[in-house]
Each structure stands twice: as C-alpha cells, then as structure tokens.
Structure 1
Amino acid sequence: MATSDQRRPEIVVGLVATPPDYPALVVARLTAELADRLAEQVDADVRWIVREGWGEVAPRRDGGVEGLLDDLARRRADAGWDVAICLTDLPLHTERVPLVAQMSARRRVALVSLPALGLRQLRAVRAAVPNLVGRLLTDATEERVLLAGWAPPELTGQVAAIHRVVGGADAGELGYVASRLIGRLRLVTGMVRANRPGRALLGLSKLLVGAFGTAAFALTTDTIWQMGDALGGLRLAVIMILGLTALVTWLIVAHDLWKKPDRETPAELARLFNLGTILTLTLATAVSYLVLFAGTTLAAALLIDTSVLKQTLHRSVDFTDYLILAWIISSLATVGGTIGSGLEDEETVRAAAYGYHPEPGGWRDEKDA
C-alpha cells in the first residue's frame, strides 16, 4: 500500500487566509477536508497535499484584484506549491458588480471573496475551491500533472452567488461575478457575517452592565412609570431608535471606527468598510437592547407589585403595562449605557470595525519561520 502511494503523482495545494482573522477560521476547516474532496471531485489517482498559511494582516487594497493575485503568486513560488487559493474578507468589485472569485492560470493562483458568498460561506467555499484547483491545473501551460478526463463543471451552477463569468477563457484569466442587485445584498450580509457581530456583542459587556445599572435606578422612579403610560407606541419607538442611533454613533466616533479614503483604501472600499461597521454595530447593539429589555421586564415584574403600579397609574394594569415600562426604561438606559461604552477595551471595540484586524497569536512566529 505504501509503495502504491509513493508512485502516485503529488500535487501541493496552498490555502492562504488574507487577512489571518475570519478567513483563517474558514481555511482551517477547509484544510481538514480539501484533500478528500479533491480526490473525490477532481482526480482520485493524485496524492493531494494541502498546506495552509496566513497572508498579511493588512492586505494590499490599492492594487485591487491584480495586486492580491501577484502577492499570492509570489507566496506560491516561495513555498513551492503547485497552485494556491486565497480566501479573503475584502469586498472586491469588477465591472461595478461584486467579484466572487478570480483565477489566473498563468500564475496558478485564484482568490475567493468570502463576503460575496453571503451567509452560507463555508458551503460555497467547499464547492468553489476544488473546482478552481482543477481549473488551474487543467488550464496552466506547464502543469506537472495532467488531469486526464476531468472536465470542470460550471461554477455558476454550483455556487449560488456566482451569476456569470467574465474574462478570457483561452488565457485562463477568469472572473466570477455576482448579480448587480442580489449580489450587492449578498455582499453586505456576507460582510456582516465575516465581521462576526457576536464578537462585537461580547465586547460590549461593560455597556450592557452600565445600561442595567441605569435601568435598575429608573425602575424605582414612578415618574418614569407615568411617562411610559402617557407616551404612545410611536413616540416610544422613536425614543428607542434615537437611543440606538446615538449609541452606534458614539461607538464609531469615540473609538475612531470610521474609515476615510486614502492612498491605500479607495473611496468605494472605504464606503463598504463603513457600511459593514455600521451594520455590525447596529446588530450587536440591537441584540444588547433585546437582552436589556428582557431583563428589565423580568425585574419590573418581580419588584413592582401590580397594586403599586395600579395606584400610580390610577387604572387597572396588566402585563402589557410592564412591557411598556420596560420599553421606555430600556431606551433611556441605552443612552446611559453609552457612558459605559467609553470604558470598553479599545481593541475589543475596534474589532467591530470592518477592515481592522489585530495580529493573531503566532503571527510573528510564522513570519520569522
């Protein structure tokens, strides 16, 4: 059996995560299964070897897709890989539509933009990467191993995010793009997914503690009870929206999360980064608000007896009144929690900014090696 394995041709596939943040998680999961998928979908007579690596923490933005492919090609040559695939969380465009993937047979490299895949990114990557590897080996002019009898299936039928193919098929320079409208919506949701809003939510723990403290104080004030009873649903909704907007704005301003266009970041990319940051923080603060609302409702039901609330409001009360009371207190406490947000750890809050990637543990060790 060992002799048979030694006689099989060997192809080394490199997977690079750029930057080594969220894409590194996807690369780690894909590396564990890619060799089996390549044997099943491309060529079972080849001994597939998959290597994973980290790209730059701050990948090039000014060079666009070609700059990323050039950097990846140099990485492939230095590492001695046959082909290389880069997974990145950068939102890329071509012909003013989102770019899902780009391959260059001449350089034997391809890249996949994870945000353009939408929410179900791992499933899409599992379908796209084996196909790209096979195409690179088939279209390359000096491939070490000929994949005889393998015909690459169309990615437009395998990956929902891919709408059409652009570029020169004869030259092996192909771009896989999304649709103009649905593709942009998928790109935005994919950016929020790649930005990991759960990490931002956990990072706002001090904000939530400050909001709960404000809510506990407000529960003891009967003036707030009367105010909630007097305000209608529309006014309460406006107060809630204003409170959440003020919180998101304060987080962006206080922690300098707004990305401005510069020599390294084009204006279109900066706009996408800011949109991803706003949506991530909005989702995180909305979930925090729901947690605060649920906690305040429970506290109000336990601490404020129905008879006391009835005496203050001068009418009969039911559970709806507790919900309204929790609604206005949560909205006011959100503004109070904004003060607590200024005490958050800088690195924790900045992790919610799209395009900001702290150096991961082990980065220096790998670069030195």
Structure 2
Amino acid sequence: MTDSDLHRGEIVVGLVATPPDHPARITARLAAELADLLAEQVDSGVRWTVRQGWGEVAPHRDGGAEALLDDLARRRTDDHWHVAICLTDLPLQTGRTPLIAQISTRRRAALVSLPALGLSQLGTVRAAVPHLVGALLADAPGPPHPPGRWAPADLPSRVTVIKRVIGEDDAGELRYVASRRTGRARLLTGMVRANRPGRALLGLSKLLVGAFGTAAIALTNSTIWRMGDALGGLRLTIVMLSALTGLVAWLIIAHDLWEKPDRDTPAELARMFNLGTILTLALATAASYVVLSLGTLLAAALLIDTSVLEQTLQRPAHATDYLALAWIISSLATVGGAIGSGLEDEETVRTAAYGHHPEPDRAGEGR
C-alpha cells in the first residue's frame, strides 16, 4: 500500500498487540468493530481495512514508548499499512506520571498503554483509537477527510482518564498522561487486570488441594478447637494476614517471580512489575482462602456435633464458634498449602509474574 491508495478509497490500519497476551484479547475485540467505528467517526467515504498483528513476546523494556514506536513504524512499512496502532500492557510512564498514549505523525504510529486505562480498557480503547487514526491521517498526503478535523490535542475531551497533553501539535509527537495521584492507582489496577488473577488462582490448584488436606487433619484436633475459641477476632485476623503474607512471599521466592533491575529493566519499571505481581498473587491467594474457609466451615458443621464441641469448649456452642474454628484452621492450612505450591508446574505459577509472558500460539497472526 502507498499513500496514493488514500485517493483510491482504501485505508489500511494495523493493530499490533505487544506482548501477545492480554493486549491480544483487547485487539481481537477491537478489530472486529474498528472498521465500522472509523467509518462512523472518521470518514464513511473510504473503505477501511483493519489488519491484526502480534508484537514481541518480550518487548524491549529499556526504550519505553520510543522503542515501541520505532518497532511499530518498521512493522507498518514492512506490512504496507497506512497507519499503525500498538496496544501494550507495558506500564509506561513519563517521569513518574503514567503514560496513557503517545502519537507520532512522523512515524504514522501511535500506542496505547492498556494498564493506564484501569478497568474499563475496551471501552476507552474504542473511544481513543478512532481519534488516533484520524489524527495520524490528518497530515497524510491527500487525506480523504478535511485537514485539521482530528487535532491530536482534542483527545482529552474524548478520553476522560487523560489529564494532560505533553508536546506540540506542530511537531506531531504528543504524549497523553494521566493524573499523577489517581493515575498511578488506576495503572496498578489495570496491571492486575492484565495479569488475570483468575488464571493465577486456577494455576494454584495443588496449593488449594494441599490446604484442604491440612485442614482435614486439623479439623480432628480438639486442641485447635480450643485455640480458635481462645484467640479472639483480633489475633485470628493477625494469624490470617500473616499466613497469606507468608504464602505470597513463599510463591515469589520459590518460583523466582521477583523482577530485579538490570540493563534492560529500569528500577522504576521493575518496581511496577513487582507491585503488579504482589497484588495479583494477593488476590489469588485471598480468593483461595475464601474457598478454603467455606469448605472448612461446611465440613466442620457436618462432622463436628454441637455436643462434642460444647464438651471440648466446656460451654454452650454457637454458630460463631464454628466460624472461629474454620477461621483458624484455614489460616493454619494456608501455611500447609505453601508446601503444595512447591509442586506446581513452574510455567503455571510464573504466569502470575507481571513481567512473564508465555509464548502464544501464533496461528491467528496477520488476519
């Protein structure tokens, strides 16, 4: 494709997901409707063709947005696209402010950092990408729509999470950033979503099985019944938090999930990766704890007769006693489950690390 194709009524837009994990799912959903969005919002008088592609499984971390845009520009030229848009789950920043998007009219390429969008990523991408495409084409030779209609500086009015624009319209190299205070919280939320805590939970199935085995043994120990009665809510909470914290730390250490700053990974990016990993594991282990507690409570209610519990506690038993029993047993069993986590498949556990991206099946690339 060449610039003269603009006059013949076809514009090819390339969508690149890098790494091809979470961004690929967003890209696939966006590609299915992008042509209609472009016809509606940019120009209905041309034929829009949307091509999908996957970027590197492990994109360069040290170059930030500029390295991604350079790679994207080469991909656009090689694949004969008019413009190219990259969706990435790298947590990009300008200084210490989250970077949401960057546009380069010189390279006819733009990128969107999905984590910076928080939870509502697909909806925000739907609003942003047509504008980015229109802005990139505004300065192209022989544009099929009125020049100046898609001023790059207008994007904040369409995407509410963008708070500032850095750069000059004339240069065509603009960065769209979030609020420093709320933007970092949204960035971490988006990182956790991209990391798929549900996948981490399913991947730790052996941990949960080991914890249930430990709970079954502890359920028969009357000494633990008395401990649950004696500790009280505050100390039971401390035991629970200690067990969950220890489990997360064990998973990180045992499976080498901690990112260390090096030549390719700046210290700030390593910190963001580690925060994303910790939060993902915390959610996954907390969910497994809830499942374990409910299972233990049900088993205690079925197996331990009230009269037996009253004889051990030497007082009338109440529903709260069963809750306390399930609480302490679940906390102790969580520690036992850490042993089971050592038996998990290494690749399965490492998917919880934010900087790790498994090699995908590339059969659908280029459609």
Query: What band does the TM-score fall into relative to the shorter chain?
Result: over 0.9
The separation in 2 between residues aligned to 1:202 and 1:315, in whole angstroms, is: 41
Task: Give the equivalent residue in structure 2 for 1:83.
Answer: 83
Letter in 1 for 2:145: L
Q: Deviations over 1:238-273 (max 9, x none)?
A: 100110011000000000000001111111000000
TM-score of the two chains, using structure 2 as the length reference: 0.95
Task: Give the equivalent residue in structure 1 for 2:182.
Answer: 182
Contact 2:43–2:144 (CA under 8 A) maintained in structure 1: no
Task: Give the equivalent residue in structure 1 for 2:4.
Answer: none
> For 2:14, what is the secondary structure of its paired residue?
strand
Residues 1:173 and 2:173 are matched in the alignment: yes
> For 2:149, what is the secondary structure of its paired residue?
coil
CA drift at 1:328: 0.1
CA drift at 1:355: 1.3
Q: Deviations over 1:273-306 (max 9, x none)?
A: 0000000000000000001011111110011111
Contact 2:310–2:317 (CA under 8 A) maintained in structure 1: yes
Contact 1:42–1:150 (CA under 8 A) maintained in structure 2: no
Residues 1:121 and 2:121 are matched in the alignment: yes
1:147 to 145, 148, 172: 145
Letter in 1 for 2:144: L
CA drift at 1:150: 6.8
Matches within 5 A, 1:281-300: 281-300=281-300
Contact 2:12–2:81 (CA under 8 A) maintained in structure 1: yes
Contact 2:52–2:365 (CA under 8 A) maintained in structure 1: no
The separation in 1 between residues aligned to 2:147 and 2:93, in whole angstroms, is: 34
Task: Give the equivalent residue in structure 2 for 1:73.
Answer: 73
Pick which of 59-68 and 84-93 moved more: 59-68
Runs of 4+ in 1 over 4 A off after TM superposition: none
Task: Give the equivalent residue in structure 2 for 1:57.
Answer: 57
Task: Give the equivalent residue in structure 2 for 1:270.
Answer: 270
TM-score of the two chains, using structure 1 as the length reference: 0.95
Contact 1:43–1:150 (CA under 8 A) maintained in structure 2: no
Matches within 5 A, 1:308-323: 308-323=308-323
Letter in 2 for 1:148: P
Total equivalences in the alignment: 360
Contact 1:62–1:264 (CA under 8 A) maintained in structure 2: yes
Q: Deviations over 1:151-205 (max 9, x none)?
A: 2372212222211111121111111000010001100101001111111010010
Letter in 2 for 1:228: G
Letter in 2 for 1:183: G
The separation in 1 between residues aligned to 2:208 and 2:142, in whole angstroms, is: 58
> For 1:360, what is the secondary structure of its paired residue?
coil
> For 2:87, what is the secondary structure of its paired residue?
strand
Could you say what the CA RMSD is over the residues aligned between the two structures, in angstroms? 1.7
Task: Give the equivalent residue in structure 2 for 1:3.
Answer: none
Point out where structure 1 has 5 or more consecutive residues left out of the alignment.
1-6
Task: Give the equivalent residue in structure 1 for 2:202.
Answer: 202
Matches within 5 A, 1:86-125: 86-125=86-125
CA drift at 1:146: 3.1
Contact 1:18–1:55 (CA under 8 A) maintained in structure 2: yes
Contact 2:27–2:87 (CA under 8 A) maintained in structure 1: yes
Matches within 5 A, 1:207-218: 207-218=207-218
Task: Give the equivalent residue in structure 1 for 2:345.
Answer: 345
> For 1:50, what is the secondary structure of its paired residue?
strand
Letter in 2 for 1:145: P
The separation in 2 between residues aligned to 1:98 and 1:353, in whole angstroms, is: 20
The separation in 1 between residues aligned to 2:121 and 2:130, in whole angstroms, is: 15
Task: Give the equivalent residue in structure 2 for 1:9.
Answer: 9
The separation in 2 between residues aligned to 1:33 and 1:320, in whole angstroms, is: 53
The separation in 2 between residues aligned to 1:216 and 1:98, in whole angstroms, is: 47
The separation in 1 between residues aligned to 2:229 and 2:178, in whole angstroms, is: 50
The separation in 2 between residues aligned to 1:362 and 1:190, in whole angstroms, is: 25
Contact 2:218–2:224 (CA under 8 A) maintained in structure 1: yes
Task: Give the equivalent residue in structure 1 for 2:29.
Answer: 29
Letter in 2 for 1:151: R
Contact 2:46–2:144 (CA under 8 A) maintained in structure 1: no
CA drift at 1:349: 0.4
Contact 2:91–2:272 (CA under 8 A) maintained in structure 1: yes
